[in-house]
Amino acid sequence: MSTLKSIFSWLGRFLERARTVMLNLGTAFVLIFLTIIIIGAFTASGPDAKDPSGRVLILDPQGIVVDEEVFSDDFLASITNDESDQIQTRDLIELIQNIAADDEIPAVLIDFSGTGFAGPTTALNIAKELKALKDSGKRVIAFGDRMTTSSYLMASQASEIWIHPVGSISIAGLGGMRQYNKELYENLKINFNNYSQGDFKSAVEGNTRTNMSENDRLQRTAILEPIWNEYKSLMSESRGITAEEIQYFADNYIGFFGEAAMMNIEFATSKNIINGTKSFPEFRQYMIENFGEDEDADTTTYKYISYQEYADQLEKDLEEDSENEIAVITAEGVIMEGEIAPGVAGANGIVKQIRKAHENENTKAIVFRVNSPGGSIIASEMMRDELFAAKRKGLKVVVSMGDYAASGGVYISTPADYIFAEPTTITGSIGVAIALPTLENAMDYIGVNFDGVVTSKYAGWDPLQKIDDDLDKIFESWGAGAYDRFITFVSDSRSQPYEDIKSIAGGRVWIGSAAQELGLVDELGDIDDAINYAVQMADLEDYQVEYYGQELSPEEIIIKELLDSFDVSIKEPEVLTALSGLSKLYSEYTDLKQPKALIACENCLVDID
């Protein structure tokens, strides 16, 4: 007994010491973090603001362009990850429009090689703003050492394009290859039981087939070709060449290695895809000759101002002071339960925003911006329920579809009084994806048997065991019921007969212009069109727009403002990135034990380099 008592006594002392060490480590981390911010704030503070008059504005956004900036639950991890930089589409567009209207800025130097886009429609919209910038009479110059499809789309809107002599330029186009793992799973003795609903619902066919189905090929061709044609049209029109020449370049001059594609540069120059090449010193001298040397700079360079410095000096337009508010709420990313995070339209967080909007007596209408390929049914239902709660109070709901509003993105749009989509929005995919892997063959092969006592037929069942005929019927009924509910929601929302919606459902993906012809959306237009329509529906003479973003704590706001103001960057240690990857892998494994019916369109996402 005394021995046992000693063990517990030792264990208690150990736990107490461990708790003290963990508290000290946590306190030390916070102090180190705040010290870095304070030091960075002092060391990063520079001279007085530059006068932008007569200076070339350098527009080189670093990060991904999204509808609404969000952060993960782990705020510190979110802001210390270099990949988390986000640029709100409306902020970038407003900046470009301000530059176009500023007669004091003689030219703009653009480089979008470090910019990603939430989807192809976002990229096209930014390219069109750059085109308008050039059309305003502003001289727009593009320069870089590598250009890919998306960065060249932006560069092609410039007055002139220069690239480094051993740089890389390639236009890879859109789309990509997908793995088909049926034979792999057969070799591993894993069965994939597919209960997906809809002949075009291809989300799980990578696990159930050895090649692409004809239906999937048909629908992907139908969405990729119009978007690609729009890309080629913008590129070729601005450069004064034909779309066929862009296509020939994409087909015959690849850029897999990222640099030194000399043949690419020679062909691109000969066909006016670019103006030519300049080394970094040559380009610097070119800019000095055109715009003058900056006498105040520490080194020899031309007169320039960064877009961040310029944006900091812009006077914010004061919105009309009105008690009538149009609430703009964004669902961006995969629809899941929980809080909002980068790439995740967290239902709990979005529901809070919707509720906050309809509980505000000044809210007169809601614009619901949907940029999602879908996801969880229950999470979609949560958002849908809260939108109907708003409608019961007499508020109008207008949906604005962005890059993607497919599957669950359609589901959460069904409460809308009116739906806008952009011509290249990817929508539809009205179907249900359910696929459940079972390992009975693998268990049999390695000699594992199951036995036990249960009080109901399937109390002891899990995916390590076989799906019998009765359970197979249950899963099939489960998927069919979810599909029927989905079609019914769309049918009611669009005031179309159930059979008519079913005939265009089937999990098929449609592009925005086709969706309008089918009656899945009411009108083609962007988010500004949706806001203006909401104003009309609410019959308002004056209003202001209220964007409902993610709410941060006062402490988080202070840290973010410090980091933004003084441009302090704290990189995430590689070990944390590795642990994050392991965590995701574990989550994928646990999902095998928790089968879910999803309204998702994983393969409607368009790959652009």
- Give the list of residues 6+ apart from residue 328 with CB closer than 8 angstroms, or none: 366, 367, 369, 527, 531, 545, 546, 547, 548
- Give the list of residues 6+ apart from residue 388 with CB closer than 8 angstroms, or none: 415
- Give the list of residues 6+ apart from residue 200 with CB closer than 8 angstroms, or none: 215, 216, 218, 219, 429, 431, 506, 507, 508, 509
Q: Which two tokens stand for residue 478?
A: 């489960």
Strand pairing class (374-376; 598-600): antiparallel
Tell me, letter by letter, the H, E, C secondary structure of 289-344.
Answer: HHHCECCCCCCCCECEEEHHHHHHHCCCCCCCCCCCEEEEEEEECEEECCCCECCE
Choose, from 131, 201, 278, 364, the residue flagged as catalytic.
Answer: 201
Choose, from 372, 407, 413, 493, the residue flagged as catalytic.
Answer: 407
Strand pairing class (304-306; 344-346): unpaired
Residue 495 CA to residue 522 CA, distance in Å, equals 12
Give the residue carrying structure tokens 């973003």.
549
Q: Is 124 exposed, middle or buried (0-12, 13-18, 19+ CB in 10 A)?
A: buried
* Active-site residue, 407 included: yes
Q: Which two tokens stand for residue 541?
A: 């003479």
Residue 232 CA to residue 460 CA, distance in Å, equals 57
C-alpha 94: how far from chain center: 20
Helices then strands, each counted (H, E), the chain: 22, 23
Residue 426 CA to residue 404 CA, distance in Å, equals 5
* Active-site residue, 493 included: no
Give DSSP secondary structure letters for 195-255: --BSTT--TTHHHH-SS--HHHHHHHHHHHHHHHHHHHHHHHHHHTS-HHHHHHHHHH---
- The one-letter code for the residue type at 596 is K
- The one-letter code for the residue type at 267 is F
3-class secondary-structure state, position 55: coil
Q: Which long-range contacts (CB under 8 A, 24 or more apart) does 488-496 make?
A: 489/384, 489/411, 489/414, 490/410, 490/414, 490/430, 490/520, 492/414, 493/413, 493/414, 493/415, 493/416, 494/519, 494/520
Residue 431 CA to residue 448 CA, distance in Å, equals 37
Q: Which two tokens stand for residue 472?
A: 């197979």
Q: Which long-range contacts (CB under 8 A, 24 or more apart) does 33-42 make?
A: 33/76, 33/570, 36/568, 36/570, 37/559, 37/562, 37/563, 37/568, 40/563, 40/566, 40/568, 41/562, 41/565, 41/566, 41/568
Q: Which residues are catalytic?
A: 201, 407
